[in-house]
Amino acid sequence: MKSRFLPAAVCSAFLILSGVVSAQTTLTAAVDYTLRNNPDVAIDIRQRRAIDEALLGAYSGYLPKVDIGWGVGKEKARNSNTGYRWSDDLTRQEKSVTLQQMLFDSFATANEVARNRARMQSAAYKVSGSSEQIALKVVEAYLNVLRLRENVRLTQENLQNHQKTYDQISLRATSGIGRRSDVDQAEARLALAKSNLIAAEANLRDAEIAYQRYTGILPDDLVQPDGPSDEIMPQSLENAIEKARDNNPLLKQAKADIDAANAQYDAAKSAFGPRFDIQAGLNYIDNSGGVEGENDSRYAMLRMNWNLLRGGADYARLGETKQLSYQAIEIMKRTLMQLDESTSLSWNTYVSAHERLPNLQQHAESSLATRDAYTKQFAIGQRTLIDLLDTENEYYTSTVEYVNGQYMELFARYRLMADTGNLLASLDVKPLVESDPSQRVEHSNPWSKSDYKKTGTPQSVVQEEPAQPELEIEPDEKTTAAEPLEATSSLEKEPVLEPQPDLIPQKAE
């Protein structure tokens, strides 16, 4: 992958032109920072942590319950102790301690624990899926900034070449050698080249805003990534779909939701069974029943409670949970279909982009050779001005298309990694602890909010850019000197498993 992109000097050229000196940020650093600071990911993290606390609450059904009671007030009584006459006002006091331990609740607690454990796993897979999708958006924004910076550089170079040609033609016309029509033609092409540069710079600003949308910071000197190696890439469409079905976290989330729905259905069945508890208590009552004095009692009981009729509410709840379990199954089927579609589209994009690159490279190299030859021939009068301007335009558009093709192929690789659930691994980014479905995250003190981490000041990762062999690259959109650029945005649409748009914007009309 290294051989396809410009050397470090090209990227630094843009910074020299803009007068900016800044640190370098790798793609891995940008993704890692985003995962730990992006609110979209943080929302899913908080949901995961909330479910962890709910799982802890579900386990409490196995543990004993202790209640302490106390009361004080006035009492008047009329009973056999008072001769069926109203007694004097007495100050009544009550104190009690009750201990209750569940022995059997028709598996309600066991199923509630299973349901919340499945919910915890689902939430963990959701964090993992969100991380992969947000990472892909950062990758797209990152690559777009690099691509459009190169587009601006090529557009500036194109403008310089047109300016040079215009100056030569104007000098000839002033000297009486050239024709006025040639000056007008060169001036028209020059004006359009200036317009293209303005549009290219606008496209770059849009890409930088998109980058900031996900990372929270504007891009500095971004390091050209190598991309996923051929060794970890799927070898065929069937292999890609197989990997996606095995590893995609969103599909795993849908399967965990089925487990949660089934456990909820089983928990609803417990309402039709009995409940057994051991209950022990101490009661102290003073001045009760119209008689002054203490009345103490101690007891230990085995209690059974079995509801036989509750107006059909339990039966309706059982039917509701059954339908919810069927719904979860259909959602899993839909997720699987969307995953297969997304993986197939990513594979098709990757294959077509990969196969186009040699032809685009040949086109760019041939256009460069033709332009150089026509420039020499124009100097000795063997080529017309139109020939010269057309070859300049051909070289410009060929390099643009070659650059766009390179970045399209690179982004298609990352898209396949995201579909197969391996994007973070391919970027060497450590997963979030909340994405681990096998265990609960660290418990926090619920009485305090001091553990809330606010987004800190972004830290750029300074890293020496790896040396890369020289190669030509191209700019933004498929724009020619005869076709003005239009400012466009390449932001992706939100749906997670919906087909994702290509990295390269459409050609301006």
pLDDT, position 178:
63
Alpha-carbon span 230 to 7, nearest angstrom: 22
In a domain, 376, yes or no: yes
Q: Which residues of 46-76 are buried (b: 16+ CB within 10 A; e: fewer)?
A: ebbbebbbebeebeeeeeeeeeeeeeeeeee
Residues 6+ apart with CB under 8 A from 317: 268, 271
Domain that holds residue 392: 27-64+107-274+313-435
Residue whose structure tokens are 């060169």: 186
In a domain, 114, yes or no: yes
pLDDT, position 186:
85
In a domain, 474, yes or no: no
Cα separations in angstroms, 193 against 155, 393, 489: 7, 10, 21
Overall pTM surpassing 0.75 (yes/no): yes
Confirm if 59 and 110 have CB atoms less than 8 A apart: no
CA dihedral of 242, 246, 247, 248, whole degrees rounded to 10? 80
Q: Retrieve residue 247's tokens.
A: 């590893």
Q: Tell me the one-letter amino acid at 162.
A: H
pLDDT, position 469:
37
**pLDDT tens digits, 285-337:** 888 777 777 888 999 999 999 999 999 999 999 999 999 999 999 999 999 99
In 3D space, the residue among 503, 440, 443 whose CA is nearest the CA of residue 476 turns out to be 503
Low-confidence ranges of the chain (pLDDT < 50): 1-22, 455-509
Q: Which residues of 465-478 are buried (b: 16+ CB within 10 A; e: fewer)?
A: beebeebbbbbbbb
Average pLDDT score over the chain? 84
CATH code (residue 321): 1.20.1600.10
Q: Retrieve residue 53's tokens.
A: 């606390």
Q: Phi/psi class of residue 290: alpha, beta or left (left: φ > 0; alpha: ψ in -120 to 50)?
A: left
In a domain, 413, yes or no: yes
- What is the domain count for the chain? 1
Q: Which helix (H) or strand (E) holds 288?
A: strand 275-288
In 3D space, the residue among 37, 15, 9, 7 whose CA is nearest the CA of residue 432 turns out to be 37
In a domain, 10, yes or no: no
End-to-end CA distance of the chain: 32
In a domain, 446, yes or no: no
